[in-house]
Protein backbone atom coordinates (compact mmCIF):
# COMPACT_ATOMS: atom_id res chain seq x y z
CA UNK A 1 0.00 0.00 0.00
CA UNK A 2 1.40 3.39 -0.93
CA UNK A 3 2.16 5.92 1.76
CA UNK A 4 -0.42 8.75 1.61
CA UNK A 5 0.87 11.73 -0.35
CA UNK A 6 2.06 14.69 1.66
CA UNK A 7 1.07 17.29 -0.98
CA UNK A 8 -2.30 18.09 0.65
CA UNK A 9 -0.46 18.92 3.87
CA UNK A 10 1.82 21.31 2.05
CA UNK A 11 -1.10 22.98 0.33
CA UNK A 12 -2.94 23.36 3.61
CA UNK A 13 0.03 24.83 5.49
CA UNK A 14 -0.44 28.40 6.69
CA UNK A 15 1.98 31.18 5.67
CA UNK A 16 4.96 31.66 7.95
CA UNK A 17 3.87 33.55 11.01
CA UNK A 18 5.77 36.42 12.55
CA UNK A 19 5.05 34.88 15.96
CA UNK A 20 7.71 32.22 16.87
CA UNK A 21 5.24 30.49 19.20
CA UNK A 22 2.73 30.08 16.37
CA UNK A 23 5.48 28.71 14.11
CA UNK A 24 6.45 26.18 16.75
CA UNK A 25 2.81 25.17 17.32
CA UNK A 26 2.25 24.67 13.58
CA UNK A 27 5.42 22.59 13.37
CA UNK A 28 4.36 20.36 16.28
CA UNK A 29 0.89 19.86 14.83
CA UNK A 30 2.30 18.86 11.43
CA UNK A 31 4.78 16.43 13.01
CA UNK A 32 2.07 14.89 15.17
CA UNK A 33 -0.22 14.40 12.21
CA UNK A 34 2.56 12.81 10.14
CA UNK A 35 3.46 10.50 13.03
CA UNK A 36 -0.15 9.40 13.32
CA UNK A 37 -0.27 8.71 9.58
CA UNK A 38 2.94 6.68 9.78
CA UNK A 39 1.59 4.64 12.69
CA UNK A 40 -1.63 3.98 10.78
CA UNK A 41 0.36 2.83 7.78
CA UNK A 42 2.43 0.48 9.94
CA UNK A 43 -0.74 -1.05 11.38
CA UNK A 44 -2.10 -1.72 7.90
CA UNK A 45 1.12 -3.28 6.64
CA UNK A 46 1.90 -5.30 9.76
CA UNK A 47 0.68 -8.87 9.01
CA UNK A 48 0.18 -9.59 12.71
CA UNK A 49 -2.48 -6.89 13.01
CA UNK A 50 -5.92 -8.40 13.43
CA UNK A 51 -8.37 -7.66 10.59
CA UNK A 52 -10.63 -5.73 12.96
CA UNK A 53 -7.89 -3.18 13.50
CA UNK A 54 -7.33 -2.62 9.78
CA UNK A 55 -9.96 -0.05 8.92
CA UNK A 56 -9.56 -0.13 5.10
CA UNK A 57 -10.80 -3.74 5.11
CA UNK A 58 -13.45 -3.52 7.83
CA UNK A 59 -13.04 -7.23 8.41
CA UNK A 60 -14.24 -9.14 11.43
CA UNK A 61 -11.67 -10.54 13.88
CA UNK A 62 -10.54 -14.15 13.45
CA UNK A 63 -13.23 -16.61 14.47
CA UNK A 64 -12.22 -18.78 17.39
CA UNK A 65 -13.72 -22.22 17.89
CA UNK A 66 -12.24 -23.40 21.14
CA UNK A 67 -12.84 -26.11 23.70
CA UNK A 68 -14.40 -25.28 27.09
CA UNK A 69 -12.05 -23.99 29.76
CA UNK A 70 -10.16 -26.76 31.47
CA UNK A 71 -10.80 -29.29 28.69
CA UNK A 72 -7.75 -31.26 27.51
CA UNK A 73 -6.16 -30.10 24.29
CA UNK A 74 -7.42 -31.96 21.23
CA UNK A 75 -4.67 -33.53 19.16
CA UNK A 76 -6.99 -34.09 16.20
CA UNK A 77 -9.35 -31.56 14.69
CA UNK A 78 -11.97 -32.18 12.04
CA UNK A 79 -12.71 -29.69 9.29
CA UNK A 80 -15.84 -30.37 7.25
CA UNK A 81 -16.34 -28.90 3.77
CA UNK A 82 -19.64 -29.05 1.90
CA UNK A 83 -20.67 -27.87 -1.55
CA UNK A 84 -23.04 -25.21 -2.83
CA UNK A 85 -25.68 -23.90 -0.43
CA UNK A 86 -28.48 -21.82 -1.97
CA UNK A 87 -31.21 -20.63 0.43
CA UNK A 88 -33.49 -18.72 -1.96
CA UNK A 89 -36.17 -19.68 -4.50
CA UNK A 90 -37.63 -23.17 -3.83
CA UNK A 91 -35.50 -23.76 -0.72
CA UNK A 92 -36.77 -20.52 0.79
CA UNK A 93 -40.37 -21.38 -0.07
CA UNK A 94 -40.07 -24.73 1.71
CA UNK A 95 -38.49 -23.18 4.82
CA UNK A 96 -41.13 -20.45 4.94
CA UNK A 97 -44.01 -22.88 4.50
CA UNK A 98 -42.80 -24.99 7.41
CA UNK A 99 -41.57 -21.99 9.39
CA UNK A 100 -38.31 -23.81 9.92
CA UNK A 101 -35.17 -22.01 8.82
CA UNK A 102 -32.89 -24.91 9.81
CA UNK A 103 -34.88 -27.38 7.70
CA UNK A 104 -32.22 -27.94 4.97
CA UNK A 105 -29.67 -29.10 7.55
CA UNK A 106 -31.77 -31.06 10.04
CA UNK A 107 -31.21 -34.55 8.62
CA UNK A 108 -27.45 -34.15 8.61
CA UNK A 109 -27.12 -32.12 11.81
CA UNK A 110 -25.25 -34.83 13.73
CA UNK A 111 -22.55 -35.07 11.07
CA UNK A 112 -22.14 -31.30 11.01
CA UNK A 113 -22.11 -31.12 14.79
CA UNK A 114 -19.24 -33.61 15.06
CA UNK A 115 -16.85 -31.33 13.14
CA UNK A 116 -14.72 -28.61 14.72
CA UNK A 117 -15.19 -26.30 11.73
CA UNK A 118 -17.77 -26.25 8.95
CA UNK A 119 -17.41 -24.49 5.57
CA UNK A 120 -19.75 -24.01 2.60
CA UNK A 121 -19.99 -22.02 -0.60
CA UNK A 122 -22.98 -19.73 0.08
CA UNK A 123 -24.47 -19.28 -3.38
CA UNK A 124 -26.54 -16.17 -2.58
CA UNK A 125 -26.39 -12.96 -0.59
CA UNK A 126 -28.39 -13.00 2.65
CA UNK A 127 -30.13 -9.63 2.62
CA UNK A 128 -33.34 -7.68 2.19
CA UNK A 129 -31.57 -4.84 0.39
CA UNK A 130 -30.32 -4.07 -3.11
CA UNK A 131 -31.84 -4.22 -6.57
CA UNK A 132 -32.30 -7.28 -8.76
CA UNK A 133 -29.77 -7.07 -11.58
CA UNK A 134 -31.80 -9.66 -13.51
CA UNK A 135 -29.06 -12.14 -14.26
CA UNK A 136 -30.18 -15.43 -15.83
CA UNK A 137 -30.87 -16.63 -12.28
CA UNK A 138 -30.89 -14.08 -9.45
CA UNK A 139 -30.72 -15.38 -5.90
CA UNK A 140 -31.17 -13.51 -2.61
CA UNK A 141 -31.92 -15.28 0.67
CA UNK A 142 -34.13 -13.85 3.41
CA UNK A 143 -32.07 -12.76 6.45
CA UNK A 144 -34.05 -15.30 8.49
CA UNK A 145 -32.07 -17.99 6.66
CA UNK A 146 -29.13 -17.04 8.86
CA UNK A 147 -30.87 -18.93 11.66
CA UNK A 148 -30.37 -22.14 9.70
CA UNK A 149 -26.71 -21.46 8.96
CA UNK A 150 -26.11 -20.72 12.64
CA UNK A 151 -28.01 -23.81 13.78
CA UNK A 152 -25.96 -25.94 11.40
CA UNK A 153 -22.80 -24.48 12.93
CA UNK A 154 -21.16 -23.01 9.84
CA UNK A 155 -18.08 -21.03 10.80
CA UNK A 156 -16.83 -19.88 7.38
CA UNK A 157 -18.70 -19.34 4.10
CA UNK A 158 -17.45 -18.25 0.70
CA UNK A 159 -19.24 -15.39 -1.02
CA UNK A 160 -16.85 -15.56 -3.98
CA UNK A 161 -19.33 -16.91 -6.50
CA UNK A 162 -21.36 -15.77 -9.50
CA UNK A 163 -24.55 -15.18 -7.46
CA UNK A 164 -23.17 -13.06 -4.62
CA UNK A 165 -23.68 -9.93 -6.75
CA UNK A 166 -27.15 -10.81 -8.11
CA UNK A 167 -28.73 -7.96 -6.14
CA UNK A 168 -25.84 -5.53 -6.47
CA UNK A 169 -23.22 -4.15 -4.07
CA UNK A 170 -25.70 -3.03 -1.41
CA UNK A 171 -27.05 -6.55 -0.92
CA UNK A 172 -23.55 -8.03 -0.99
CA UNK A 173 -22.20 -5.68 1.69
CA UNK A 174 -25.32 -6.18 3.79
CA UNK A 175 -24.87 -9.95 3.51
CA UNK A 176 -21.26 -9.73 4.68
CA UNK A 177 -22.26 -7.63 7.70
CA UNK A 178 -25.14 -9.93 8.63
CA UNK A 179 -22.92 -12.99 8.40
CA UNK A 180 -20.29 -11.44 10.66
CA UNK A 181 -22.95 -10.35 13.14
CA UNK A 182 -24.15 -13.98 13.24
CA UNK A 183 -20.63 -15.18 14.05
CA UNK A 184 -20.03 -16.59 10.56
CA UNK A 185 -16.90 -15.51 8.73
CA UNK A 186 -17.37 -14.62 5.03
CA UNK A 187 -14.43 -14.84 2.66
CA UNK A 188 -13.79 -13.87 -0.95
CA UNK A 189 -15.78 -10.61 -1.01
CA UNK A 190 -15.57 -7.19 0.57
CA UNK A 191 -15.98 -3.45 0.37
CA UNK A 192 -12.97 -3.21 -1.95
CA UNK A 193 -10.35 -5.28 -3.71
CA UNK A 194 -8.08 -5.54 -0.69
CA UNK A 195 -10.88 -6.71 1.58
CA UNK A 196 -12.04 -9.31 -0.93
CA UNK A 197 -8.55 -10.80 -1.26
CA UNK A 198 -7.61 -10.68 2.43
CA UNK A 199 -7.59 -14.14 4.04
CA UNK A 200 -10.17 -15.11 6.64
CA UNK A 201 -8.11 -16.16 9.64
CA UNK A 202 -9.77 -18.74 11.87
CA UNK A 203 -8.53 -20.23 15.13
CA UNK A 204 -9.79 -23.80 15.55
CA UNK A 205 -8.84 -24.69 19.11
CA UNK A 206 -5.28 -23.50 18.59
CA UNK A 207 -5.05 -24.48 14.91
CA UNK A 208 -4.63 -21.39 12.71
CA UNK A 209 -6.40 -21.72 9.37
CA UNK A 210 -6.34 -19.14 6.56
CA UNK A 211 -9.13 -19.23 3.97
CA UNK A 212 -8.94 -17.62 0.53
CA UNK A 213 -11.80 -17.70 -2.00
CA UNK A 214 -12.11 -16.61 -5.63
CA UNK A 215 -14.50 -16.71 -8.58
CA UNK A 216 -13.91 -16.83 -12.34
CA UNK A 217 -17.54 -17.08 -13.46
CA UNK A 218 -19.30 -14.05 -14.96
CA UNK A 219 -20.57 -11.43 -14.34
CA UNK A 220 -17.19 -9.79 -14.16
CA UNK A 221 -18.87 -6.57 -13.05
CA UNK A 222 -18.96 -8.24 -9.64
CA UNK A 223 -15.16 -8.02 -9.35
CA UNK A 224 -14.09 -5.80 -6.46
CA UNK A 225 -12.11 -2.67 -7.29
CA UNK A 226 -9.89 -0.22 -5.45
CA UNK A 227 -12.96 1.65 -4.20
CA UNK A 228 -15.73 -0.70 -5.38
CA UNK A 229 -17.38 -3.55 -3.42
CA UNK A 230 -17.33 -6.98 -4.99
CA UNK A 231 -15.77 -10.42 -5.08
CA UNK A 232 -12.18 -11.63 -5.42
CA UNK A 233 -11.49 -12.58 -9.03
CA UNK A 234 -9.53 -15.71 -9.90
CA UNK A 235 -6.46 -14.13 -11.49
CA UNK A 236 -3.63 -16.69 -11.25
CA UNK A 237 -0.77 -14.31 -10.46
CA UNK A 238 -2.80 -12.53 -7.79
CA UNK A 239 -4.01 -15.80 -6.28
CA UNK A 240 -0.48 -17.16 -5.96
CA UNK A 241 0.65 -13.89 -4.35
CA UNK A 242 -2.26 -14.08 -1.88
CA UNK A 243 -1.28 -17.64 -0.93
CA UNK A 244 2.30 -16.60 -0.28
CA UNK A 245 1.04 -13.71 1.86
CA UNK A 246 -1.21 -16.00 3.91
CA UNK A 247 1.35 -18.78 4.33
CA UNK A 248 3.23 -17.32 7.36
CA UNK A 249 -0.02 -16.27 9.03
CA UNK A 250 -1.46 -19.76 9.50
CA UNK A 251 -0.78 -23.44 10.02
CA UNK A 252 -3.03 -24.34 7.10
CA UNK A 253 -3.90 -22.36 3.97
CA UNK A 254 -7.11 -23.44 2.22
CA UNK A 255 -8.12 -22.04 -1.18
CA UNK A 256 -11.73 -22.21 -2.36
CA UNK A 257 -12.14 -21.33 -6.07
CA UNK A 258 -15.52 -21.03 -7.78
CA UNK A 259 -14.57 -22.24 -11.21
CA UNK A 260 -14.95 -24.71 -14.04
CA UNK A 261 -17.83 -25.73 -16.29
CA UNK A 262 -21.35 -26.35 -15.05
CA UNK A 263 -22.39 -30.04 -15.06
CA UNK A 264 -18.99 -31.15 -16.37
CA UNK A 265 -17.74 -34.32 -14.68
CA UNK A 266 -14.06 -33.39 -14.98
CA UNK A 267 -12.04 -30.22 -14.44
CA UNK A 268 -10.41 -28.47 -17.36
CA UNK A 269 -6.70 -28.67 -18.10
CA UNK A 270 -6.31 -25.04 -16.98
CA UNK A 271 -7.96 -25.82 -13.63
CA UNK A 272 -5.61 -28.74 -13.02
CA UNK A 273 -2.55 -26.64 -13.85
CA UNK A 274 -3.67 -23.76 -11.63
CA UNK A 275 -4.54 -26.11 -8.76
CA UNK A 276 -1.03 -27.56 -8.90
CA UNK A 277 0.47 -24.06 -8.93
CA UNK A 278 -1.59 -23.12 -5.87
CA UNK A 279 -0.30 -26.16 -3.98
CA UNK A 280 3.27 -25.35 -5.07
CA UNK A 281 2.79 -21.77 -3.81
CA UNK A 282 1.92 -23.01 -0.32
CA UNK A 283 -1.75 -24.04 -0.23
CA UNK A 284 -2.55 -27.14 1.84
CA UNK A 285 -5.98 -27.89 0.38
CA UNK A 286 -8.06 -26.77 -2.61
CA UNK A 287 -11.86 -27.02 -2.34
CA UNK A 288 -13.71 -26.03 -5.51
CA UNK A 289 -17.32 -25.27 -6.39
CA UNK A 290 -19.65 -24.16 -9.23
CA UNK A 291 -20.23 -27.21 -11.51
CA UNK A 292 -23.12 -28.43 -9.26
CA UNK A 293 -21.89 -32.00 -9.75
CA UNK A 294 -19.11 -33.93 -8.08
CA UNK A 295 -15.71 -33.86 -9.77
CA UNK A 296 -12.39 -35.54 -9.08
CA UNK A 297 -10.37 -35.70 -5.90
CA UNK A 298 -6.68 -35.55 -6.69
CA UNK A 299 -3.65 -36.07 -4.44
CA UNK A 300 -0.77 -33.82 -5.43
CA UNK A 301 2.54 -33.46 -3.57
CA UNK A 302 1.02 -34.85 -0.35
CA UNK A 303 -1.85 -32.35 -0.59
CA UNK A 304 -5.43 -32.75 -1.80
CA UNK A 305 -7.47 -31.03 -4.49
CA UNK A 306 -11.27 -31.33 -4.58
CA UNK A 307 -12.23 -29.78 -7.90
CA UNK A 308 -15.96 -29.69 -7.11
CA UNK A 309 -18.03 -30.99 -4.19
CA UNK A 310 -21.28 -30.53 -6.10
CA UNK A 311 -24.40 -29.30 -4.33
CA UNK A 312 -25.26 -29.54 -0.65
CA UNK A 313 -28.53 -27.58 -0.46
CA UNK A 314 -30.08 -26.56 -3.78
CA UNK A 315 -33.37 -26.83 -5.69
CA UNK A 316 -32.16 -27.64 -9.21
CA UNK A 317 -34.24 -30.08 -11.28
CA UNK A 318 -31.40 -32.02 -12.89
CA UNK A 319 -31.09 -35.26 -10.90
CA UNK A 320 -27.29 -35.20 -11.27
CA UNK A 321 -27.27 -32.08 -9.08
CA UNK A 322 -29.03 -33.92 -6.25
CA UNK A 323 -25.79 -35.68 -5.28
CA UNK A 324 -22.78 -34.13 -3.63
CA UNK A 325 -19.81 -34.71 -1.37
CA UNK A 326 -18.77 -33.58 2.03
CA UNK A 327 -15.03 -33.55 2.59
CA UNK A 328 -14.00 -34.62 6.08
CA UNK A 329 -10.47 -33.43 6.80
CA UNK A 330 -8.61 -34.74 9.85
CA UNK A 331 -5.78 -32.53 11.11
CA UNK A 332 -3.10 -33.88 13.43
CA UNK A 333 -0.07 -31.96 14.66
CA UNK A 334 -1.25 -29.02 12.57
CA UNK A 335 -1.03 -30.98 9.33
CA UNK A 336 -3.71 -32.63 7.20
CA UNK A 337 -3.54 -36.33 8.03
CA UNK A 338 -6.64 -37.78 6.32
CA UNK A 339 -9.17 -36.65 3.73
CA UNK A 340 -12.40 -38.63 3.54
CA UNK A 341 -15.17 -38.04 0.96
CA UNK A 342 -18.66 -38.46 2.42
CA UNK A 343 -21.42 -38.77 -0.22
CA UNK A 344 -24.75 -36.98 0.31
CA UNK A 345 -28.07 -36.76 -1.50
CA UNK A 346 -30.56 -33.90 -1.63
CA UNK A 347 -34.11 -35.09 -0.97
CA UNK A 348 -37.39 -33.70 -2.28
CA UNK A 349 -37.54 -31.24 0.62
CA UNK A 350 -34.13 -29.83 -0.40
CA UNK A 351 -32.47 -31.38 2.63
CA UNK A 352 -28.96 -32.81 2.62
CA UNK A 353 -28.95 -36.44 3.78
CA UNK A 354 -26.19 -39.02 4.04
CA UNK A 355 -26.09 -41.40 1.10
CA UNK A 356 -27.06 -44.95 2.13
CA UNK A 357 -24.32 -47.50 2.75
CA UNK A 358 -24.63 -48.71 -0.85
CA UNK A 359 -23.93 -45.47 -2.75
CA UNK A 360 -26.00 -44.91 -5.86
CA UNK A 361 -22.99 -43.49 -7.68
CA UNK A 362 -19.32 -44.52 -7.67
CA UNK A 363 -16.80 -42.50 -5.77
CA UNK A 364 -15.03 -39.84 -7.86
CA UNK A 365 -11.94 -41.02 -9.65
CA UNK A 366 -8.63 -39.28 -9.89
CA UNK A 367 -7.99 -36.82 -12.66
CA UNK A 368 -7.04 -38.62 -15.83
CA UNK A 369 -3.74 -37.45 -17.20
CA UNK A 370 -3.88 -37.88 -20.95
CA UNK A 371 -0.73 -37.78 -23.01
CA UNK A 372 -0.35 -34.93 -25.44
CA UNK A 373 -0.90 -37.33 -28.33
CA UNK A 374 -4.10 -38.73 -26.85
CA UNK A 375 -5.36 -35.24 -26.13
CA UNK A 376 -4.67 -34.17 -29.72
CA UNK A 377 -6.41 -37.26 -31.02
CA UNK A 378 -9.53 -36.59 -28.93
CA UNK A 379 -9.64 -32.96 -30.09
CA UNK A 380 -9.99 -33.96 -33.78
Residue 16 confidence (pLDDT) above 60: no
Residue 42 confidence (pLDDT) above 60: no
Cβ neighbours around 106 below 10 Å, total: 16
- 51-65 pLDDT, tens digit each: 332 222 233 344 555
Residue 348 confidence (pLDDT) above 60: yes
Closest by Cα among 195, 208, 209, 250 to 51: 195
What percentage of the chain carries pLDDT values higher than 90?
Answer: 72
Residue 1 confidence (pLDDT) above 70: no
Cα distance between the two ends of the chain: 49
Average pLDDT of the residues of the chain: 83
Output the pTM of the full model.
0.77
- 216-234 pLDDT, tens digit each: 999 999 999 999 999 999 9
Closest by Cα among 345, 266, 344, 262 to 305: 266
Q: Does 5 or 271 have the greater pLDDT score?
A: 271
**Domain residue spans in the chain?**
17-42, 73-378
Cβ neighbours around 177 below 10 Å, total: 16
Cα distances from 82 to residues 138, 158, 251, 287, 349, in angstroms, run: 22, 11, 21, 9, 18
Residue 107 confidence (pLDDT) above 90: yes
User: 156 phi and psi, to 5 degrees?
Assistant: -135, 135
For residue 367, how many C-alpha atoms fall within 13 Å in the half-sphere facing its CB?
A: 22
What pLDDT does residue 26 have?
A: 47
- 118-127 pLDDT, tens digit each: 999 999 999 9
Q: Specify whether the CB–CB gap between 210 and 253 falls below 8 A.
A: yes
Residue 91 confidence (pLDDT) above 50: yes
Q: Which CATH number fits domain 73-378: 3.40.50.9100, 3.60.21.10, 3.40.50.300, 3.90.76.10?
A: 3.60.21.10
What pLDDT does residue 380 have?
A: 39
What pLDDT does residue 75 have?
A: 75
Residue 176 confidence (pLDDT) above 80: yes
Instruction: Give the pLDDT band (50/70/90) at residue 134.
Output: confident
Please give the full DSSP string across 164-184, using - where no structure is assigned: TTTTHHHHHHHHHHHHHHTT-
Highest mean pLDDT among 131-135, 230-234, 371-375: 230-234
Q: Specify whether the CB–CB gap between 162 and 258 falls below 8 A.
A: yes
Q: Is 362 helix (H, G, I), strand (E, B) or coil?
A: coil
Rounded to whole angstroms, the Cα distance separating 232 from 140 reads: 19
Residue 377 confidence (pLDDT) above 80: no
Q: β-pairing, 303-306 with 189-190?
A: unpaired
Residue 32 confidence (pLDDT) above 60: no
Q: Specify whether the CB–CB gap between 124 and 140 falls below 8 A.
A: yes
**Tell me, what DSSP letter sits at residue 27?**
H
Residue 13 confidence (pLDDT) above 70: no
Residue 67 confidence (pLDDT) above 50: no
Please give the full DSSP string across 228-239, using - where no structure is assigned: B-EE-B--HHHH
Amino acid sequence: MRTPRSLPLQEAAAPTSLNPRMNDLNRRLRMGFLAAMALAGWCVLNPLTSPQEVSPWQAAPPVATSSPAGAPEKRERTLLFVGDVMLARGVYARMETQDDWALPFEKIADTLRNADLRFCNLECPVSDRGHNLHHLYSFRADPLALEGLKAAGFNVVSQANNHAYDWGPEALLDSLERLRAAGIRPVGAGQNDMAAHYPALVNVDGLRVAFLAYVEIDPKEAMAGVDRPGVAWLEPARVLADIRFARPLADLVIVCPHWGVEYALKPTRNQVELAHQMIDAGADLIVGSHPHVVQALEPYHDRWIAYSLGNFVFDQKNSATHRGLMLKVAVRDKQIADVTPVPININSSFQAVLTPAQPATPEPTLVERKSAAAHAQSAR
